[in-house]
A and B are shown apart, each in its own frame.
Chain A
Amino acid sequence: MTRLFAIGALVFALAVPRAASAADCDTLGLGTLVYAQVGDTQSNLMKRLGRALRGNTARPLTLVFRTSPSCVNIDQIFLQTPIPAATVMQYVPSTTEDAGWTPASPTLTCTIPAGAGVVPDVANSALFNSACPNGGTTPAHVKTTNGATQAYVFAVPEASTQTAITFEEAYFVFGFGTAGMVTPWNDEAQLFIRALTTSTLLAWAANISVPGPKWKGAQQTGTMGSSLVVSRLASSTSPEKAIGILGAEVYDNERNRLNVLAYRAKGQYAAYYPDSTATSRDKKNVRDGHYTVWSPTVWMDRVNGATPLNADARYIVDLLTSAPTVTPAPNFDMLGIITAGGLVPVCAMRVQRSFEGGPLSLYTPPAGCTCKYERLVDTTSCATCSPTQACTTGVCRDGFCEAP
């Protein structure tokens, strides 16, 4: 047990940003800064993109970000509320500053400059904005664009023998708590949930028909809520009874300590993992609709009419949302960064929905990337192609014969 706590403490310590300097962000010589406020499920993505942007030769940028619940982020940019002076922000070092830095390394920190604070240039919610109390109507000064798909999971400790949960079980477990009498998840102290403003809870809420305020369980709050859920699950003294909610990409980085549960949606004949098997990483069931608990990531920047207030912020949003044309072209593979961040690019999706937890319908992306995505996460059976090797069927795109 002591060992478990020690491991948990170590992981938590590694996840916490490292305070390299308490200096104002604009005094560190970091170049052009873009301030972002994102959900904590997007941390992996921010770290990877932040690193790439520091070295983006044609348009080097420093992404200065902090994490907070999705609904808070929506309010922040909708109301144009400044992040207060002295608030601790995160950023990643450039290759010149730290050649050995990897996404597994902690971020560096700086603080919002003295003065009136900074309204975030970019804000993110990891679910449909309409699922948040104030997110239904976008003000004229904000542009919203949907980006890659974020899946959510029920996770249990590695020691748990549970493999699946049904819609009905989840309804009773989280809507009734102990009174729901669903074995083995009948101890509310072992239900590790997130704050009511987080995408993780609200996405699950919409999918299991338990509104956020009705949820039973032990809320893990703060900017490191996902990390707390992970550590609570991993160190639970009642692993069979323990269950928690996480972003799929958070779980993906904790597979050595946690297991994901297959989920059977209402009206579904079998339960499915987000991936094609419990151990794969292909998000196949997210992409084709067998795993129903997912949301779009929504990226927001400020505008004056149709003109972005900050062209660099729009550049980043364009990258994150796979805009058809991003100028100047980055010197990195954005699809690879999105995929490595644990998200599914829209071009790899074959289903869509229009509101949180809403019914799925078929979707055909304008320029599919299923083959490339599958190759990035694992292997693909797609044929390869090149300028001298045409496709027998399909369209040659990024070296693969993709569906037209």
Chain B
Amino acid sequence: MKIHRLLFALPLVFAAACGDDGKGAIDAPGTVDAPSDAGPPDASCFTNPTTYNEIINACTTAQKVFKDSHPPLLMPDGLVPPLP
């Protein structure tokens, strides 16, 4: 199972990862809108992160998992409704 998971994820890693050195990175801090939902895989990353948003989206060689998720109760603007 774990090998299956790795094989599933590896192409995504090579397709989307940008190196720690930032070479080839689409590096535009402050110009990339953070999606509230997955949307299409976004290879953008930040080479010299300083803010929270940049830190969590910093360039990395770590394995990424992209997920196109649309929970039925998600609001049209991508926000979540109040808890019941």
Contact in complex: B73, A259 (CB < 8 Å):
no
B residues within 8 A CB of A267?
A: 34, 36, 53, 56-57
For B61, list chain A residues within 8 Å (CB).
276
Of the candidates B34, B44, B50, B56, the one having the most CB atoms from chain A within 10 angstroms of its own CB is B56
Partner of A172, one of B1, B60, B64, B80: B80
User: Ordered nearest first, which 5 A-B pairs have the shortest CB separation?
Assistant: A270-B64, A359-B52, A267-B34, A289-B55, A262-B65
Report B's interface with A, CB cutoff 8 A.
Answer: 1-2, 5-6, 8-9, 16, 34-38, 41-42, 44-45, 49-50, 52-53, 55-58, 60-67, 69, 71-74, 80, 83-84
Q: Judging by beta carbons under 8 Å apart, are A278 and B56 in contact?
A: no
Question: In the complex, what residues of B have CB within 8 A of residue A269's CB?
Answer: 34-35, 41-42, 44-45, 57
Contacts of A209 in B (CB 8 A): 80
Given A163-B9, A172-B80, A267-B36: A181 and B63 interface contact (C-beta under 8 Å): no
Is A189 close to B, CB under 8 A? no
User: Of A172, A210, A262, A269, which is in contact with the most chain B CB atoms at under 10 Å from its CB?
Assistant: A269
Q: How far is the CB of A277 from chain B (nearest CB, A)?
A: 4
Are A277 and B62 closer than 8 Å at their CB atoms?
yes
- Contact flag A290-B58 (CB < 8 Å), given A168-B36, A172-B73, A181-B72: yes
A400 within 8 Å of B (CB atoms): no
**How many A-B residue pairs lie within 8 Å, measured between CB atoms?**
129
A181-B71, A290-B60 are contacts. A271–B65 as well, Cβ < 8 Å?
yes
Q: Which residue of B lies closest to A180 (CB)?
A: B73
Q: Is the CB of A271 within 8 A of B71?
A: no
Chain A residues closer than 8 Å to B50, beta-carbon distance: 362
Taking the closest CB of chain A, its distance from the CB of B5, in whole angstroms, is: 5
Residues of chain B contacted by A176 (CB below 8 angstroms): 73, 83-84
The B interface is mostly helix, strand or loop, or mixed, namely: loop
Closest to A270 in B: B64
Minimum C-beta distance from B44 to chain A (A):
7
Q: Is A360 an interface residue (CB 8 A)?
A: yes
> B-facing mask of A196-215, CB < 8 A → 1, else 0?
00000000000001110010
- Closest approach, in angstroms, between the C-beta of A201 and any C-beta of chain B? 15
Roughly how many angstroms separate A288 CA and B71 CA in the complex, as a whole number? 29
Report yes or no: A278 in contact with B83, Cβ–Cβ below 8 A.
no
- 19 additional A-B residue pairs with CB within 8 Å, beyond A267-B36, A277-B63, A278-B63: A158-B1, A159-B1, A163-B5, A176-B84, A180-B73, A259-B2, A259-B5, A262-B63, A262-B64, A264-B38, A264-B67, A269-B34, A270-B64, A271-B65, A272-B63, A278-B6, A279-B2, A290-B62, A360-B55
| A222-277 CB contacts (< 8 Å) to partner B | 255, 259, 262, 264-273, 276-277
Instruction: Tell me if A166 counts as interface (CB < 8 A to partner B).
Output: yes
On whether the beta carbons of A164 and B62 are closer than 8 Å, the reply is no
Expressed in whole angstroms, the minimum distance between the Cβ of A334 and any Cβ of chain B is 28
How far is A270 from B42 in the complex, measured between Cα atoms in Å? 8
- Let me know if A75 is at the binding interface, CB within 8 A: no
A355 at interface by CB-CB < 8 Å: no
Judged by a CB distance under 8 angstroms, whether A169 is at the interface is yes
Q: Is the CB of A278 within 8 A of B71?
A: no
Residue of A nearest to B60 (CB): A290
- Once A168-B37, A271-B64 are accepted as A-B contacts, the answer to whether A360 and B80 lie under 8 Å apart by CB is no
CB-defined A-B contacts under 8 Å, sample of 30: A158-B1, A164-B67, A168-B37, A168-B69, A171-B80, A176-B84, A209-B80, A255-B2, A259-B1, A259-B2, A262-B65, A264-B65, A265-B56, A266-B36, A267-B34, A268-B34, A269-B42, A269-B44, A270-B64, A270-B65, A270-B66, A272-B63, A276-B61, A277-B6, A279-B2, A289-B49, A290-B56, A290-B60, A290-B62, A292-B56
Say which residue of B56, B63, B65, B84 sits within 8 Å of A179 (CB atoms).
B84
